[in-house]
Every structure is written in C-alpha cells, then in structure tokens.
Amino acid sequence: MNNFTYDITTIIHFGIDQLKNLADMKASGSKVLLVYGGGSIKRNGLYDDVMQILSENGLQVTELPGVEPNPRIESVRKGVELCRENELDMVLAVGGGSCIDCAKVIAAGACYDGDAWDLVLDGGKIEKALPVYTVLTLAATGSEMDRFAVISDLEKNEKWGTAADAILPVMSVLNPEYTYSVSPKQTSAGTADIMSHTLENYFNNVKGAYLQSRMCEAILKTLVHYGPIALHQPDNYEARANLMWASSLAINGMVSYGAGVGWCVHPMEHELSAFYDITHGDGLAILTPFWMDHALNAETAWKFGEYGRNVFGITGDDDMEVGRQAIECTREYFKLLNLPATLSDVGIDSTHFDIMAEKAAAGCEGSFVPLSKEDIKSIFMAAL
Ligand code: NZQ
Ligand code: ZN
C-alpha cells in the first residue's frame, strides 16, 4: 500500500429531511449564487424548498439557471460575472454533476483575475475559491464530495477535467428521495459512471492494497444489486440510497488512497463527449468492456480473476477464463440497464478517431495497462 494523506473535509448530510442544514451556509456570508440546470428541480419541487430555507435564513439569492449536461465554459463565465457584479459570498449547486462542476469552476473563477478556461486547463492555477455547497439530485459523478470538475468548450471540441482542494464542497446534502424523479436513462448512465469510477480505481498494480480492492468490490456489488432495482422502481428508497452513497465513495478518495492509479476509460470517454456531446455514463458503458478486452492478458489476468470471482461469483481456477467471463458479465450488466453497447448506437463513427485517440492518450498516463494512441484507436475501432 502506498503512503497517503486522508483529507476529505466535505460535510455530508445524508437522508430524508436534511435540507434544513443549508442554514449552516450563513457561516460563509449572506449572498448566494444558486446554480441549477434545465428545470428538473422546478418540476420536482426542490427549487421551492431550497428557496424557502435560504430565505428563512436571511440568505439572498442570485440565480444561474440553465446549466447544460456536459456544462459549457460559457455558463461558467456567466456565473463568474454574476459573482463579481453582485459581490457574492458563496455558490450553491442544486442538481447533478454538471451543475456542481459548473458551480465549482465559477467559485474558483470568481477569485481569479484571468479567464476561467485557464483554470479548466490547469487546476494548479486554482488557489482560492468561494465556498461551494451542493444539494445532489443524481447519483453519478461523486462531484458532491470530490475535488474535480469537468467543463467543455464544444466549439473547440474540448472537454477537460480540473482539480483543486479549494473547490471541494464545504457541505453537501444527499437525500435519496431527490433522485426519485431521475429518468431511467440517467439512472442507468449514472450507475455506469459510478461503476466506472470504481473500476478505474480497482484495476491498479499497487501491491498490498487488499483493503482498497475489497472496498471497491463492495461498491461494485452494490451497483450490480441496486442498479436494476432503481431502474424499475424509481422510488425505492433503499436502492436510491445505496446508489447515492456509492456515488460519493467511488471517487472521494476513500478507495484510492494508498492505491492510486492513472485513469484511462475516462480520458477516452471525455473525447466522445467533447466531439459528440453524448451522455458521460453512456460513453463509459460502451468503452469499458472493450477496454477490458484490450487489458486482459497473462500479466493482468489475476486482477480480472479477482473481479470475476468476487463481484460476479464466477467459479474456476483459470484466471484468464474467469476474466473473460467477467467481461461478459460486465457487458450483460450494462445491457440489463438498457445502456448503449457500441459507438454506432450513439451515432459515433470513425471520423475523428485519430485526434480523439491522440488527446485521450495524453490523459492515460500511469494507467493499469499502458495505452498508446494506437491502442486507444484500436479500442475505439473495436467499440464501433
Ligand atoms: O438540467 P436538469 O433539468 O436538472 O436535468 C438533468 C440533466 O438533464 C437531469 N437530472 C438531474 N437530476 C435530476 C434530473 N432529472 C430529473 N430528476 C432529477 N432529480 O439529468 C440530466 C443529466 O444531469 P447531469 O448533471 O449532466 O448528469 P451527471 O450527474 O451524470 O453529470 C455529468 C457531468 O459530470 C462530469 C461528466 O463528464 C459530465 O460533464 N463528471 C464529473 C466528475 C467529477 N466532478 O468528479 C467525474 C465524472 O467522471 C464526470 O466526468
Ligand atoms: Zn465519470
């Protein structure tokens, strides 16, 4: 196991009736930028509840509605402008990962002299940020409890992740009931995203990180069990609650401390979204099994063997064979969630593979199996 420093400071209020804790935002001042998306929080009543609590606590609200899935740098710039003009004290995101990511970069941009895109390209430039608060409405990205934010400039076909301590949310409210209204498509895509975060951490070469692997398997089994239940019973509290907490734990550092590894399916997927604006979880569900096909070999079979036996209950002594079956189980699982299985399913052809593979390769450094531009291109080709 490698050395690490545990530093997750986000306060999580999990469960029913936790929204009242937004009152604690008063500690950061009195003027709030409320960041939300295309209207789901108005349709399910959450907007009214949030506004009421903020008003009862004397918090004044400036709104930034309309944040897009795959949030755009233009929305970030608008938010930064609002923070500056109105001298706002903090940012509250109410929504999924897109709203939270947008809020994080707004918070940093408000404390930065140049253009916010600089901060997307280089997290090292984020020295300060306004305090970020979140109310999560979709179990997926883990942004509610991590230091990352992913922003797109679709005019340039660019989608990049940035990271900094300063944008870690101060507090997040996680009420599984808020996810009852998430559509079947987004429920599945979110579950695939959590699965991918866990797998990106799970497939590492760090010796002796036994505990981290078992924690990953616990999350993976939780997803395998509860993903289909949430899909078919959207208001099943137990399923939504397990998915929601899995979303935070998969990426907040808990399973990767001491077992860090470079991620690779994510950099590949970000190119799909950058060029085709597809749903992040859909892209991950497509690419993951094809990446696994590529990564399974005599040296890595032991890990795929663990995966197959401990997550899917596959029996047998031959790691290669168990690994092959585990990859099929992964495919079947995504199929069960009605997720797309090929790039053609989401309208992607090979037109941009060359540049997409080149850009993805730059982000795949230090991954479980080294990936060159050519390797990535062959994974894209196989996924067609
Ligand atoms: O915009 P609204 O109207 O709110 O609708 C959203 C959106 O259309 C809807 N939705 C969210 N909560 C809902 C709901 N609909 C009904 N009821 C609710 N309770 O779902 C749609 C998708 O929302 P979005 O926020 O885009 O989804 P997600 O949470 O999956 O976020 C995806 C973004 O996060 C990035 C992705 O790349 C993508 O840009 N990621 C962020 C990460 C991070 N910060 O750590 C890591 C991830 O790997 C990922 O890259
Ligand atoms: Zn992800």
Q: Average of pLDDT values for 139-147?
A: 98
Rounded Cα gap, residues 273 and 280, in angstroms: 7
* Percent of the chain predicted with pLDDT > 90: 100
**pLDDT (0 to 100) of residue 278:** 97
Beta-ladder partners of 160: 151
Distance 140 CA to ligand 2 centre (A): 7
Q: How confident is the model at residue 226 (pLDDT cuts 50, 70, 90)?
A: very high
Q: How confident is the model at residue 197 (pLDDT cuts 50, 70, 90)?
A: very high
Rounded Cα gap, residues 160 and 362, in angstroms: 12
Contacts of 80 (CB under 8 A, 6+ apart): 106, 109, 110, 116
pLDDT digits (tens, 9 = 90+) for 283-341: 999 999 999 999 999 999 999 999 999 999 999 999 999 999 999 999 999 999 999 99
**pLDDT (0 to 100) of residue 295:** 98
Mean pLDDT for all residues in the chain: 98
**pLDDT (0 to 100) of residue 121:** 97
Rounded Cα gap, residues 152 and 73, in angstroms: 6
Identify the residue whose C-alpha is closest to ligand 1 atom 8.
Answer: 69
Distance 34 CA to ligand 1 centre (A): 16
Rounded Cα gap, residues 23 and 324, in angstroms: 51
Mutation choice for ligand 1 from 40, 120, 154, CB with most ligand atoms inside 8 A = 40
Q: Average of pLDDT values for 258-268?
A: 97
Distance 145 CA to ligand 2 centre (A): 13
Q: Average of pLDDT values for 180-192?
A: 98
Identify the residue whose C-alpha is closest to ligand 1 atom 46.
Answer: 141
**pLDDT (0 to 100) of residue 245:** 98
Distance 196 CA to ligand 2 centre (A): 7
Mutation choice for ligand 1 from 273, 280, 282, CB with most ligand atoms inside 8 A = 280
* Percent of the chain predicted with pLDDT > 70: 100
Structural domains in the chain, CATH included, are: 11-178 (3.40.50.1970), 184-383 (1.20.1090.10)
Distance 135 CA to ligand 2 centre (A): 19
Distance 56 CA to ligand 1 centre (A): 28
Residue 34's SS3 state is strand
**pLDDT (0 to 100) of residue 67:** 98
Q: Identify the burial level of 31 via C-beta atoms within 10 angstroms of its C-beta, where 0-12 means exposed, 13-18 middle and 19 or more buried.
A: middle
Rounded Cα gap, residues 141 and 251, in angstroms: 8
Q: Which residues line ligand 1 (CB under 6 A)?
A: 37-41, 44, 69-70, 95-99, 101, 137-138, 140-143, 146, 148-150, 178-179, 181-182, 186, 190, 193, 251, 266, 280-281
- Give the pTM: 0.98
DSSP-assigned states of every residue in 183-230: -HHHHHHHHHHHHHHHHHHHS---TT-HHHHHHHHHHHHHHHHHHHHH
Ligand 1 atom with least separation from CA of 70: 39
**pLDDT (0 to 100) of residue 36:** 98
